[in-house]
Amino acid sequence: MGEFDPDLRLARFLPRTLVTKRTAGPIRWLTQLPTSRPPAGGEIVHVDANVTVRVFRPAAPTTAPVAGVLFIHGGGFVIGSAAMGDALCRRISTELGVVAASVEYRLAPAHPFPTPLEDCYRGLSWLAAQPDVDANRIAVMGESAGGNLAAAVTLLARDRGKITPAMQLLSYPMLDDRTCDRTDVDPRRLRVWSPSSNRFGWRSYLGEASGAVPPLAAPARYEDLSGLPPTWIGVGSHDLFHDEDVAYAARLTAAGVPTTLHVVPGAYHGFDLVETRSAVSRAYRREQRRALASTLGEGGDVSDAA
């Protein structure tokens, strides 16, 4: 068994399984507590009756539209809220000079596929329509289950042909329901998100539908990946999603999509959210911001600070 990165000191104390059918309700309640309060330095905008976005704009006024970033939070489709992206979106907006919006989508199992995906697409449509946003320079960014939704939104945008994202940035994305069937996973290497959590999350998202899994629900099943924008995928070597993420990056490359795969040795699922001050987490976030700045052409130097 490979060792955890020594800088991730909490790894040995964290549970292998955090989200289950029993714990999802209380965790969902806790993660949604901040959703009604406007974020510091930002605002809450109602896109429609079901979807809101938490929006951060550059402090300095601009004379021309700037790039945009749509952030989609994680939580295995069953927990989490847009407020989880406040600190990151505020940082991105300030540092890169972009409009950053974190979308509040409805959660499974009460709202299975395709509702969360369509909610996120509504967030993208809203962002692209803003007069201070350059619709041709929008990055779609997501973490974990949010990485799934970011990948699916990017595919959906390509297929619908109304919005053309400039980039997709996928952080340890939850892309392939078939990982639930694996029997070769060593649970000792995992933290926070385990095979049992994964099965619960996927069952909740896919609902009671029988037959073939819709490819937009599990982007790893999508056959045609051509014509997608430049992609950055990051994942730890001790993440349950490592293999499916590496495989997706390879398929994107084979389809002619400029793709950067950033693997963090010895890192577990969500390490940068749990151990935010560690050097390995700061470096990971810095690489994300550099990728955004390089692709979107916005902002000055990316800070080395956390």
Number of neighbours of residue 90 by Cβ within 10 angstroms: 18
Domain 11-296: which CATH number of 3.40.50.1820, 3.10.180.10, 3.40.50.300, 3.30.70.2860 = 3.40.50.1820
Task: Give the per-residue pLDDT at 1.
Answer: 45
Task: Give the per-residue pLDDT at 78.
Answer: 96
- DSSP state for residue 32 in the 8-state scheme: T
Task: Give the per-residue pLDDT at 21.
Answer: 84
Q: Which amino acid is at 225?
A: L
Q: What are phi and psi of 182, to 5 degrees?
A: -70, 140
- 3-state SS, residue 109: coil
Task: Give the per-residue pLDDT at 16.
Answer: 84
CA distance 95 to 29: 31
CA distance 289 to 6: 24
Count of H-run helices and E-run strands, the chain: 8, 8
Task: Give the per-residue pLDDT at 15.
Answer: 85
Torsion sign across C-alpha atoms 42, 43, 44, 46: negative
Q: Catalytic: which of 269, 272, 278, 281?
A: 269
Q: Where are the domains of the chain?
A: 11-296
- DSSP state for residue 208 in the 8-state scheme: T
242 a catalytic residue: no
Render each residue's pLDDT in the chain as its tens digit; 306 residues: 469 999 999 998 888 888 888 888 888 888 887 777 889 899 999 999 999 999 999 987 778 999 999 999 999 999 999 999 999 999 999 999 999 999 999 999 999 999 999 999 999 999 999 999 999 999 999 999 999 999 999 999 999 999 999 999 999 999 999 999 999 998 888 999 999 999 999 999 999 765 689 999 999 999 999 999 999 999 999 999 999 999 999 999 999 999 999 999 999 999 999 999 999 999 999 999 999 999 998 655 566 555
269 a catalytic residue: yes
268 and 11 in contact (C-beta within 8 Å)?
yes
Task: Give the per-residue pLDDT at 30.
Answer: 84
CA distance 60 to 66: 12
63 and 13 in contact (C-beta within 8 Å)?
no
Asked if the bond preceding 187 is cis, omega within 30° of 0, the reply is no
Q: Catalytic: which of 5, 86, 239, 272?
A: 239
Task: Give the per-residue pLDDT at 209.
Answer: 61
Q: Catalytic: which of 144, 171, 197, 204?
A: 144
257 and 225 in contact (C-beta within 8 Å)?
yes
239 a catalytic residue: yes
CA distance 258 to 166: 12
The tokens for 219 are 């982007």
**Residue 246 burial by Cβ neighbours in a 10 Å radius (0-12, 13-18, 19+):** middle
